[in-house]
Amino acid sequence: MMMLKKTFLAVAGTMLMAVVFSAGASAASMTAIQKAAGTMQSISADFIQEKHMKILVKPLISKGIIRFQSPDALRFEYREPIQNILIMQGKRVSRYIGKDGTFVRDNAAAMGAMTVVMDEISQWLKGNFNTSVFDAAVEEAPAPGQIILTPKDKAMAHFIQDIVLVLSEQPGIFKEVVIRENQDSYTRLRFENVQLNQSIDPESFSAPK
Amino acid sequence: MRKKTALQYLFAFILLVTAGCAGLPAIIPPDNASAPDEQMLCRELAPLFPSDAVQFVHALELTMQGGHSAMLMGVVNIHPRKQALHCVVMTLEGLVLFEADHASDRFKITRAIHPFDSQALAQGLISDIELIFFKPRGVFEARGTLENKSRILRFSEPDGGTLDIVSSPDRTVWTQTLRTPSHRIKRSVRYLFPKAPVNSRPFVFPKSITLTAAFPSRYTLTMTLTDANLISDTQPGR
């Protein structure tokens, strides 16, 4: 179960981290990224997730939104093809599953991992990317650069090879984020409509109606 | 005294037998009661069990005993002619928790993260997928209708159990019920087809499938179809 929590952390946390990094990462230097991340107050973005596997006829596409308000309010919502919302406020974490046009609270979901995620995010917001979970390294080639996150835990590395955050030519935007499980299986994330430090309706962090 | 005990045993035996029989629905045989041949059975079961190789993508909701549930994504490649399948279970975030390749001569797990790292659970999962997507391997036993006019086909399983396949009069709801030799329900599968005319599309697959496992573990797996594609039959498992 611990491994599942850690791997969940790796994937869910990375999606958030990717947007956090996009605060102003136009230069391939950890200092610039740390500086930009240190000013982060809120994030609002849409995401498109593509799952690629050798056996798939075509990639699996999921779409959703992320809302984050510093220090510890989070909404992580899949809208297609499955409706599923994760809401976190402080240490309180709830998951809601879309069923027949309404949302049902999933009381049984193991949410321990999300408290770890929030601890990680608070570290990133302080500009500390070399956390207890990942080693972060910046590569300047191919230009304009990319950040490689490698799991510290060997057991986790067995399931997640690495995570690549590819910087864009356009300042403040990531081109893509790739979570590589192995050579046959990876997840690509693209963010759209990224808004930083804009006010977010507090209702976003309440139970869905 | 001995006679009284014997009578008690006999009564208990009769009670058990009648209680067991009560679990098996009565079949009203058709007027033309001739046994269907293999081709007729295939035609009858074609909506439920495709004969071509298909890749299905489902949203999965797994509900365990005590109400614990999980939302997952599932990909299954079925190769009915070869009785082979390839199955992947992943989190919504795309992390693969379980991947296995199964055919009559092999069962290979390529990835298994807790709780899918149990061999028993993995084999149970594969058996359930076979039940859902593959034609019964048992011997045809009877056909007819139920009291509510639903059509039924009954097969006897190698272990002495039975498998009933029932379709509603409008053919939009199908069920499979797998029973033990003592007629205790072991698995039930409910298929819900779209109401759109079947002739409007070349293939019509169930829009949702719900499997309920009664024992040894109790759980419910609801599969909502998100995509289906015909695939090559040349390389089962790929």
pLDDT (tens digit per residue) in A69-96: 888 888 889 999 888 898 888 778 888 8
pLDDT at A137: 84
Residues A157 and A182: their CA atoms lie apart, in Å, by: 10
Residue B26 tokens, joined: 């009565």
- Helix intervals (H) in chain B: 2-22, 38-45, 119-133
Catalogue the long-range contacts made by A139-142 (C-beta closer than 8 Å, 24 or more residues apart): A139/A28, A140/A28
Domains within chain B, CATH numbers bracketed: 2-230 (2.50.20.10)
Q: Which two tokens stand for residue A84?
A: 């599923």
Tell me what the mean pLDDT of segment A143-166 comes to.
82
Q: Are B237 and B77 in contact (CB under 8 A)?
A: yes
What average pLDDT does chain A have?
76
Q: Which of A5, A47, A55, A96 to mutate to test the interface with B (most CBs of B within 10 A)?
A: A55
Select from B57, B94, B229 the Cβ nearest to the Cβ of A187: B94
Residue B123 has a pLDDT of: 87
B121: helix, coil or strand?
helix
Residues of A in contact with B114 (CB under 8 A): 1, 3-4
Instruction: Provide the ipTM.
Output: 0.79
Rounded to whole angstroms, the Cα distance separating B216 from B193 reads: 29
Give the model's pLDDT for residue B17: 42
Q: What is the pTM of this model?
A: 0.82
d(CA B151, CA A121): 58
Phi, psi of A8 (to 5 degrees): -60, -45
For residue A59, say if its preceding peptide bond is cis, omega within 30 degrees of 0: no
The residues facing A42 across adjacent strands are A69
Residue A19's pLDDT band, with cuts at 50, 70 and 90, is low
A37 CB-near residues (< 8 Å, 6+ apart): A20, A21, A23, A124, A125, A127, A129
Q: Collapse the DSSP code of A69 into the 3-class scheme (helix H, G, I; strand E, B; otherwise coil) and give the result.
A: strand
The DSSP secondary structure of A94-148, one letter per residue, reads EEEEEETTEEEEETT---HHHHHHHHHHHHHHTT--S-SSEEEEEE--STT-EEE
Query: In this structure, what token pair is assigned to residue A183?
Result: 């050579």
Instruction: Going from the first residue of chain B to its last (238 residues), give the mean pLDDT of each consecutive group of 10, the final group possibly shorter.
Output: 53 43 80 76 88 94 80 94 94 88 89 84 90 93 93 94 95 95 95 74 84 88 94 67
Place of tokens 């798939």: A56
Q: What is the pLDDT of residue B225?
A: 95
Q: What's the Cα-to-Cα distance from B25 to each of B144, B162, B210, rounded to whole Å?
A: 11, 11, 21
Question: Of the spans A3-12, A135-144, A175-184, which averages the highest pLDDT?
Answer: A175-184
Residue type, B183: H
Enclosing domain of residue A143: 2-205
Instruction: Count CA atoms within 13 Å of residue B171 on its CB side.
Output: 10
Task: Measure CB to CB from residue A108 to each of B55, B68, B94 and give the nearest one.
Answer: B68
End-to-end CA distance of chain B: 69
Q: Nearest CA of chain B to the CA of A5: how many Å?
A: 10
Higher-pLDDT residue of B147, A144: B147
CATH number at residue A157: 2.50.20.10
Query: What integer pLDDT is reported at residue B18 of this predicted model?
Result: 42
How far apart, in whole angstroms, are the C-alpha atoms of residue B192 and residue B209? 6
With CA atoms as reference, the chain A residue closest to B78 would be: A55
Nearest by CB: B93 against A12, A57, A107:
A12
Q: How many domains does chain A have?
A: 1
Among residues A160, A202, A155, the alpha carbon closest in space to that of A179 is found at: A160
Residues B66, B90, B192, B28, CA torsion sign: negative
Strand partners of residue A5: none
pLDDT in tens, A21-53: 544 444 456 666 666 656 678 888 899 999 999
